[in-house]
Amino acid sequence: QVQLVESGGGLVQAGGSLRLSCAASGRTFGTYALGWFRQAPGKEREFVAAISGSGGNLYYADSVKGRFTISRRSTENTVYLQMNSLKAEDTAIYYCAAGGRVSYYASLNLATVGSWGQGTQVTVSS
């Protein structure tokens, strides 16, 4: 089981930027995918971005391509989500997620997530 601790949410105006961080522990970093999902009020949790276990494959939802960037720092067992050009529709609770199985190349989806962070609120005012 991977433990995930998030930070970096907050309130920002439309067009602004935020960076989310997620520190992972409990399993060998680099042997599982890491990513971000979000859930807006009244909506289902949805995929945002993921980075494969190898770090060589990046995956994004169409709604955030070109605006969000996922990255990681292996020396700190941390994954980041840089969010630029934020829109009101990006308002949601953002959850860090880790794959439940050893995987070096695959992305994440709701069925393959093994661990969740506690969530961090991102609010974009228009």
Model pLDDT for residues 65-76, shown as the tens digit of each residue: 999 999 999 888
- Residue 85 near residue 69 (C-beta atoms within 8 A): no
DSSP code at position 73: E
- Tell me what pLDDT residue 30 has: 87
What pLDDT, on the 0 to 100 scale, is given for residue 11? Answer: 98
Q: Is the pLDDT of residue 123 over 90?
A: yes
Share in percent of the chain as helix, strand, coil (round to 5): 5, 50, 45
The number of angstroms, rounded, from the C-alpha of 95 to the middle of its chain's C-alpha atoms is 6
pLDDT at 81 over 90: yes
**Residue 43 pLDDT level (bands cut at 50, 70, 90):** very high
pLDDT beyond 90 at 1: no
| Chain mean pLDDT for the chain | 96
Contact status, residue 88 vs residue 126, Cβ threshold 8 Å: yes
CA 50 to chain centre: 7
Query: Percentage of the chain with pLDDT > 90?
Result: 91
Pairs from 100-105 (Cβ < 8 Å, separation ≥ 24): 100/32, 101/32, 102/31, 102/32, 102/53, 103/31, 103/32, 103/33, 103/52, 103/53, 104/31, 104/52, 104/53, 104/54, 105/52, 105/53, 105/54, 105/56, 105/57
